[in-house]
Amino acid sequence: MTSIREEYKERTRVRILDAALELVAEAGEEPLTIAAVADRAGVTERTVYRHFDTRDALVRSLWRRMQQRIGTRGFPSSADDLADSPRRLFPVFDSQRGLVRASLYSPAGLEVRLSSNEDRQGSSLAGVRDALPSLDEKSLRRRAAVVQLLNSAYAWEVMHQFWGFDGEEAGEAASEALAVLLGKRAADQQN
């Protein structure tokens, strides 16, 4: 059973993370600071540091909190999960448009995205390796880079901005392309 103190501590931690995400969504070119996060969350800087030892720890936690809001279970690592991921994620990006775009275009958003890049790359490499185990290392890395791009908010944004796709249609397009790229079906094969 969780104590009242632990529940309060967790609520405060979530409040800090949500305040930081709001700032990322609004920040424009402004860097994310502990002082601004504390002010937005209605806590002291010391309280922020009680929950996050460093600013980097806060940024790394922001990625996980953003993923919780979007409803992801972490990065996919099998070929099937990779191919299906945009179909599940891109419609949700529509409902979190401001936050997703801020993660693409603001310096703070980029910092949050980069904090998980090693895990994201590992996921893409594992999925491609799962689908195409005979690829040489150079081909594997190139294919994984394209997989990562197609399974990203960048792909969602391009399809929205330049093609007028909503999240559902963009997700379907990216999932179809990933299936082809991962050898799950031929390019000319219909649904």
pLDDT tens, residue by residue, 20-57: 988 888 866 677 899 999 999 999 999 999 999 999 89
Asked if the structure places residue 29 within a domain, the reply is yes
Rounded Cα distance between 184 and 127, Å, is 12
Q: Count the domains in the chain.
A: 1
CATH number at residue 8: 1.10.357.10
Q: How confident is the model at residue 188 (pLDDT cuts 50, 70, 90)?
A: low
Asked if the structure places residue 145 within a domain, the reply is yes
Asked if the structure places residue 122 within a domain, the reply is yes
Asked if the structure places residue 38 within a domain, the reply is yes
Return the amino acid letter for 141.
R
Q: Taking the model in full, what pTM does it have? A: 0.79
Residue partners of 123: CB distance under 8 A and separation at least 6: 75, 76, 77, 82
Question: Domain of 131?
Answer: 4-181
Asked if the structure places residue 187 within a domain, the reply is no
Three-state DSSP at 132 gives coil
Query: Which region, left, alpha or beta, applies to residue 181 given φ > 0 means left and ψ of -120 to 50 means alpha?
Result: alpha
Rounded Cα distance between 96 and 189, Å, is 32
Asked if the structure places residue 189 within a domain, the reply is no
Rounded Cα distance between 132 and 94, Å, is 32
Residue 167, judged by CB atoms within 10 A of its CB (0-12, 13-18, 19+), counts as: buried
Return the amino acid letter for 111.
E
pLDDT in tens, 86-105: 999 999 999 888 888 888 88
Mean pLDDT of 57-66: 87
Return the amino acid letter for 117.
N
8 Å CB contact between 182 and 85: no
What confidence score (pLDDT) does residue 186 get? 54
Three-state DSSP at 133 gives coil
Asked if the structure places residue 177 within a domain, the reply is yes
Asked if the structure places residue 191 within a domain, the reply is no
The DSSP line for 23-88 is HHHH-TTPPP-HHHHHHHHTS-HHHHHHH-SSHHHHHHHHHHHHHHHHT--S---SHHHHHHHHHH
